Structure 1
Amino acid sequence: MRKIILLFIFTICLFGNSSDKELRNMIGQMIMVGFSGNNANDEWVRQLRLDIKNGRIGGVMILARNISSKDGLKNLISYLNSARPKQPLFIAIDEEGGEISRFNKFSDFEHFPSAYKVGNELNLSSANKLYSKMAMQLKSLGVNMNFAPVVDLHNDISPIIGQRQRAFSSDASEVTAYASEFISAFDNYSIASVLKHFPGHGNAAADTHKTKTIVDNFDFDEIRPYYELIKRKKAKFVMVGHMIIPVIDDTNPATLSYQVVTNLLKDSLAFEGVVISDDMLMKALGGTLEENAIKAIKAGVDIVLVSEYFYNKTNSIKAVNDAIFNAVKSGQIEMTRIVDAYNRIIAQKARF
């Protein structure tokens, strides 16, 4: 309770008289970035650590290119964490099992089956035990956030979800049940689970990594796992996808849609946690990184995810920071939107 009161007092003071430095610090917490390099001697890693130290980002995503070995990854994460030891850094990874794992090319990591295989071959108790082992491995490395579980519904039409066996089932109730066990297992190791891809990628016939994706056959059953897990207080983080869902918003990809992120997820479903974008460099979005970051924040996204540290001959961290900062200063983004996102993020970081 004391933390909540102090956070409230801080927010009131901050909103009443916000300096540029304080604003920059809040914006930094709203940015998560991917990077190159796998050890402390790499120039990009050293630069990244400086950005962390100066509060320009609040999290990093680990990709296969950052891994040399189990010990190498552990040392890399420790090095990055040492930049701001008093302020937790989100260290995120995609570890779903099956094809979607950053560890598949390495023999010294334990490997796990796909969600579809788990949903078809394991009961809920066995699934919990398996995901406890997965969480234990991530915990030993220093990872504190997993971009999983996928709570999309299985459909073979989807080249990126169904055809890669990333969803537990085509049945929303089964997806909810297995996702709940996944989250419980990770909660036991204090690792954040990120539900994805809201409001539902399962019926998308195209891949948002590669092209504009419109889901004309959207089934509102795809929202049920989110509704149930939010209602049960299991959902703390939700990742929004880049699909256009015409029955909700016929113009904007979900990530950039106020109707999807704020009206549906935050208001109608009463989600009080943190909304994370899918990678803002995916081709489904179009436009520039800076434009899309501003649109996403205005839509209600709390953390923008950018997979490349160096993008279009520019430091993407600086580009996104400056774009959001200038949008606040010009009135394009309301200060209350930044304060709300920051408070949501800090409230979750207090769990670590």
Structure 2
Amino acid sequence: MKKIILLFIFTISLFGAPSDKELRNMIGQMVMVGFTGDSSSDEWVKQLHLDIKNGRIGGVMILARNISSKQGLKNLTKYLNSASSKYPLFIAIDEEGGQISRFNKFSDFEHFPSAYKVGSELDLNSANKLYTNMATQLKNLGINMNFAPVVDLHNDISPIIGQRQRAFSKDAGEVTAYASEFISAFDNVGVASVLKHFPGHGNASSDTHKISTIVDSFDFDEIRPYYELIKRKKAKFIMVGHMIIPTIDDVNPATLSRQIVTNLLKDSLNYEGVVISDDMLMKALGGTLEQNAIKAVNAGVDILLVSEYFYNKTNSIKALNDAIFNSVKSGKIEIARIIDAYNRIIAQKARF
């Protein structure tokens, strides 16, 4: 049974500034974290359950290390979801198909082809059926969000996108068409899709997981799938990448760039959904988690994704919550930015 939640849109003009407790709860919704453990009996899974219950996070990310078996994963997601009372918990995974799947080492999960194989060999109707099966598997496992589809353009130069066959096509129109079928299939099943990696990772010649990545040959055709899918009201969640696009912002990675996240995506493309960061611990960002969190929120990012519960011998959840809270209190982040992120998030959680 779906949870019934009251959609509470917070505005300063009607309610005044939020109390510190309300502010903490809003910030908690902006944090999504990866963790260690695959069972409710694991110490850190129990701690995560408490963090969810206390409103410190609004979502979790399932990684291969969290999967012991199909039934084990079902039990884990059920346990974590039971801690969330006011709003549904986002339980997310990377399930693109092909090489990018957390299920590849397990024989009892259904496996799916890469996006490039789908775009090359299947018609749109067949793609829709395939992605309906993918979404159904996730739904049955207790997962309600997928960090897919990739809407980057295929380019063999990219070691992390093209060479791993993660993009549907080099043609923006074909990418849009297949991504649209992916989203429709997932919407029909009730699992959220997250388009990635805005504004376009296909021409990146290096991997943002490992090093700072500059995309010198950025083609604005790479934005076309986002433009089309936003215009069609298909895009509810978009993940922004960590590459530097000098033609837009020659200083900041996209995640930390107000020109890219707010000016381009939210304002110029009129995007009203939720912006999720790529993993904030990836090496392309440099700096500290706290510094980057403040920059990302000011850039317009709504949900901060961090893959590790612990960061530099510190609880990453506490580090993120405190950094944002203290920045609001000191004036480094405007309260209106937190309220905007919170309102965008709960508007989408109302769909669950």
Give yes or no for TM over 0.5: yes
Q: CA deviation at 1:103?
A: 0.3
Q: CA deviation at 1:190?
A: 1.1
Measured in 1, the distance between the counterparts of 2:263 and 2:32 equals 24
The one-letter code matched in structure 2 to 1:184 is S
Identical aligned residues as a percent: 84
Measured in 2, the distance between the counterparts of 1:253 and 1:15 equals 35
1:319-344 Cα shifts (integer Å, max 9, x gaps): 00000000000000000000000000
Range 168-177 or range 81-90, more displaced? 81-90
Q: 2:111 maps to which residue?
A: 111
Secondary structure at the counterpart of residue 238 of structure 1: strand
Measured in 2, the distance between the counterparts of 1:152 and 1:279 equals 17
TM-score by length of 2: 0.97
Q: CA deviation at 1:11?
A: 2.9
Secondary structure at the counterpart of residue 68 of structure 2: coil
Measured in 2, the distance between the counterparts of 1:166 and 1:257 equals 25
Q: 1:277 maps to which residue?
A: 277
Q: 2:329 maps to which residue?
A: 329
Work out whether 1:51 is the aligned partner of 2:51: yes
Work out whether 1:198 is the aligned partner of 2:187: no
Q: 2:226 maps to which residue?
A: 226
The one-letter code matched in structure 2 to 1:34 is G
Work out whether 1:299 is the aligned partner of 2:299: yes
Q: How does 1:73-88 map to 2 (within 5 A)?
A: 73-88=73-88
Q: How does 1:13-52 map to 2 (within 5 A)?
A: 16-52=16-52
Measured in 1, the distance between the counterparts of 2:72 and 2:100 equals 21
Q: 1:7 maps to which residue?
A: 8
1:270-297 Cα shifts (integer Å, max 9, x gaps): 0000000000000000000000000000
The one-letter code matched in structure 1 to 2:38 is N
Q: CA deviation at 1:7?
A: 2.8
The answer to whether the 8 A contact 2:7-2:350 is kept is: no
Q: 1:262 maps to which residue?
A: 262
Q: CA deviation at 1:14?
A: 7.5
Gaps in structure 2 of 5+ consecutive residues? none
Name the count of aligned residue pairs: 349
Measured in 1, the distance between the counterparts of 2:287 and 2:53 equals 30
The one-letter code matched in structure 2 to 1:258 is R
The one-letter code matched in structure 2 to 1:53 is K
Secondary structure at the counterpart of residue 238 of structure 2: strand
The one-letter code matched in structure 1 to 2:227 is Y
> Runs in 1 of length 4+ with deviation above 4 angstroms?
3-6
The one-letter code matched in structure 1 to 2:117 is K
The one-letter code matched in structure 2 to 1:269 is L
Q: 1:245 maps to which residue?
A: 245
Q: 1:286 maps to which residue?
A: 286
The answer to whether the 8 A contact 1:15-1:335 is kept is: no
Change (3 A) 1:322 1:5: closer
Measured in 2, the distance between the counterparts of 1:4 and 1:125 equals 34
Q: 1:134 maps to which residue?
A: 134
The one-letter code matched in structure 2 to 1:112 is F
The answer to whether the 8 A contact 1:15-1:339 is kept is: no
Measured in 2, the distance between the counterparts of 1:60 and 1:334 equals 26
Measured in 2, the distance between the counterparts of 1:331 and 1:233 equals 34
The answer to whether the 8 A contact 1:36-1:66 is kept is: yes
Secondary structure at the counterpart of residue 8 of structure 2: helix
Q: CA deviation at 1:5?
A: 10
Measured in 2, the distance between the counterparts of 1:252 and 1:4 equals 37
TM-score by length of 1: 0.97
1:120-170 Cα shifts (integer Å, max 9, x gaps): 000000000000000000000010000000000000000000000000000
The answer to whether the 8 A contact 1:150-1:167 is kept is: yes
Secondary structure at the counterpart of residue 279 of structure 1: coil
The answer to whether the 8 A contact 2:265-2:271 is kept is: yes
Measured in 1, the distance between the counterparts of 2:110 and 2:13 equals 48
The answer to whether the 8 A contact 1:158-1:205 is kept is: yes
Q: CA deviation at 1:311?
A: 1.1
The answer to whether the 8 A contact 2:32-2:304 is kept is: yes
Measured in 1, the distance between the counterparts of 2:213 and 2:145 equals 27
Q: CA deviation at 1:87?
A: 1.7
1:204-240 Cα shifts (integer Å, max 9, x gaps): 0000000000000001000000000000000000000
Q: 2:235 maps to which residue?
A: 235
Secondary structure at the counterpart of residue 139 of structure 2: helix
Q: 2:212 maps to which residue?
A: 212
The one-letter code matched in structure 2 to 1:84 is S
Measured in 2, the distance between the counterparts of 1:52 and 1:266 equals 29
Q: CA deviation at 1:250?
A: 0.1
Measured in 2, the distance between the counterparts of 1:248 and 1:273 equals 22
The answer to whether the 8 A contact 2:87-2:346 is kept is: no
Measured in 1, the distance between the counterparts of 2:185 and 2:18 equals 40
Measured in 2, the distance between the counterparts of 1:304 and 1:5 equals 24
Change (3 A) 1:5 1:72: closer
Work out whether 1:348 is the aligned partner of 2:348: yes
The answer to whether the 8 A contact 2:7-2:347 is kept is: no
1:18-51 Cα shifts (integer Å, max 9, x gaps): 1111000000000000000000110010000000
